[in-house]
């Protein structure tokens, strides 16, 4: 089953212009606030009408502006999970889950409600009201309601953003379980990079209404197609660059020459490396390869409970470097940090050729 989208919708600050197809693998939609992510879902669900374009699921046309087809939201067979759950406060959990099942018999409705209550782990809560549920229970009940109509596609708009860390972990596990069983087009909107990577099998990156990357999440993170995608997917280190030879690049802002694994084109404009791809060398300087290995000094650090981010000066000690000397960011787990933190400076750091990526203008 495939969900095919080709739409344009004029918004106050830009035009949402999206063309892509989603299959049975979950698709993470990533982008900054105001990029048009929620509007895209609302257009697919039929809650907003695009200015022009078409939407179809497995050949069933939901929208075609040229043919003047616009199937109402209630008839699209699309499950939508809102950011704020949108459960009906005056109805029980069971009534909420069964809300869209008025066309089936009472026995079938009861069967589906019972089945989905088990699958989404709200069994035993069916006679409670939303105000009597925790945030995670409300979200699971809302997911059960979205699945009850046996939708042809499932749309989730920031489903974890209103939950605390513990509940977010529980709900993420629930979504992974649901996606594994559902195997129909699923679109998950988020601005959280790690969430998009964990829950989506493919990734679409949206910026000011434009699709700027679409495809395998591994490939987009490993080889961002341009600087904007690199930034939006969390890259903290990039420099203007020029090609020197087939596999050699000069990083102009870093003052370094770097060997890269991928073949170069004439359109090289930037080079980047993700913070967790730095490798701190353990061997003495005389025995390590010189290629892409540089002395570095610690210019500062910050930490989370499990990781530490190091600000590294590669052109000399921070006090001796120019005010405009570049500082690169490396991220390591604290266990690894303990292994080299007390070594005398300068340390030696490797920028692995296979972890460097080059980008056109």
My answer on whether 347 and 269 are in the same domain is yes
Is the model's pLDDT at 288 over the cut of 90? Answer: no
My answer on whether 221 and 262 are in the same domain is no
pLDDT, tens digit (0-9, with 9 covering 90-100), for 198-242 = 999 999 999 999 999 999 999 999 999 999 999 999 999 999 999
pLDDT, tens digit (0-9, with 9 covering 90-100), for 315-349 = 788 866 555 567 999 999 999 999 999 999 999 99
pLDDT confidence of 289, banded at 50, 70, 90?
low
CA distance linking residue 173 with residue 35, whole number of Å: 27
My answer on whether 42 and 88 are in the same domain is yes
My answer on whether 351 and 307 are in the same domain is yes
What's the whole-number average pLDDT of the chain?
91
pLDDT, tens digit (0-9, with 9 covering 90-100), for 171-207 = 888 889 989 999 999 999 998 898 999 999 999 999 9
Instruction: State residue 285's pLDDT score.
Output: 52
What domain range includes position 331?
A: 235-361
Stretch 152-170: mean pLDDT, rounded? 84
Question: Among 201, 227, 253, where does a domain finish?
Answer: 227
pLDDT, tens digit (0-9, with 9 covering 90-100), for 95-130 = 999 998 888 899 999 999 999 999 888 999 999 999
CA distance linking residue 332 with residue 275, whole number of Å: 8
My answer on whether 201 and 272 are in the same domain is no
Worst-scoring range by mean pLDDT, 8-12, 149-153, 166-170, 329-333? 166-170
pLDDT confidence of 85, banded at 50, 70, 90?
low
Instruction: State residue 136's pLDDT score.
Output: 84
Instruction: State residue 161's pLDDT score.
Output: 79
Query: Global pTM?
Result: 0.87
My answer on whether 77 and 198 are in the same domain is yes
On whether the CB atoms of residues 242 and 252 are closer than 8 A, the answer is: yes
**What is residue 280's three-state secondary structure?**
strand
Domain count, the chain: 2
Question: Among 174, 209, 227, where does a domain finish?
Answer: 227
My answer on whether 188 and 289 are in the same domain is no
β-strands 327-333, 52-57 pairing? unpaired
Stretch 276-282: mean pLDDT, rounded? 92
Instruction: State residue 84's pLDDT score.
Output: 72
CA distance linking residue 152 with residue 4, whole number of Å: 12
Contacts 24+ apart (CB under 8 A), 109-113: 112/148, 113/144, 113/148
Residue 199: give its domain's CATH number.
Answer: 3.40.50.300
My answer on whether 217 and 239 are in the same domain is no
My answer on whether 136 and 58 are in the same domain is yes
My answer on whether 117 and 217 are in the same domain is yes
My answer on whether 134 and 68 are in the same domain is yes
My answer on whether 199 and 56 are in the same domain is yes
Question: Among 207, 227, 247, where does a domain finish?
Answer: 227
Which of the pair, 356 or 361, is modelled with greater confidence? 356
């Amino acid at each position: 089953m495939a969900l095919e989208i080709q739409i344009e919708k004029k918004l106050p600050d830009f035009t949402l212009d999206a063309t892509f197809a989603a299959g049975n693998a979950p698709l993470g939609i990533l982008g900054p606030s105001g990029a048009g992510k929620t509007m895209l879902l609302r257009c697919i669900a039929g809650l907003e009408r695009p200015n022009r374009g078409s939407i179809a699921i497995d050949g069933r046309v939901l929208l075609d502006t040229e043919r003047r087809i616009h199937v109402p939201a209630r008839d699209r067979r699309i499950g939508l999970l809102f950011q704020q759950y949108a459960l009906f406060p005056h109805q029980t959990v069971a009534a909420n889950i069964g809300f869209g099942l008025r066309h089936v018999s009472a026995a079938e409705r009861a069967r589906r409600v019972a089945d989905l209550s088990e699958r989404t782990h709200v069994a035993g809560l069916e006679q409670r009201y939303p105000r009597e549920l925790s945030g995670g229970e409300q979200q699971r009940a809302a997911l059960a309601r979205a699945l009850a109509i046996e939708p042809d596609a499932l749309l989730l708009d920031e489903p974890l953003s209103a939950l605390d860390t513990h509940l977010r972990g529980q709900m993420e596990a629930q979504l992974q379980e649901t996606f594994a069983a559902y195997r129909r087009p699923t679109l998950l909107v988020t601005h959280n990079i790690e969430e998009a990577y964990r829950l989506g099998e493919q990734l679409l990156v949206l910026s000011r209404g434009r699709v700027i990357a679409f495809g395998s999440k591994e490939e987009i993170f490993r080889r961002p197609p341009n600087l904007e995608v690199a930034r939006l997917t969390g890259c903290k280190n990039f420099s203007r660059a020029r090609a020197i030879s087939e596999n050699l690049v000069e990083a102009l802002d870093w003052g370094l020459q770097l060997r890269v694994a991928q073949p170069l084109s004439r359109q090289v404009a930037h080079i980047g490396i993700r913070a967790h791809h730095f490798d701190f060398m353990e061997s003495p300087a005389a025995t390590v390869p010189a290629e892409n290995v540089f002395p570095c000094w610690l210019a500062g650090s910050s930490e989370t409970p499990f990781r530490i981010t190091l600000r590294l000066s590669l052109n000399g000690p921070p006090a001796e470097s120019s005010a405009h000397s570049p500082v690169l960011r490396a991220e390591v787990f604290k266990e690894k940090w303990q292994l080299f933190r007390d070594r005398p400076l300068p340390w030696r750091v490797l920028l692995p050729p296979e972890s460097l990526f080059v980008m056109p203008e």
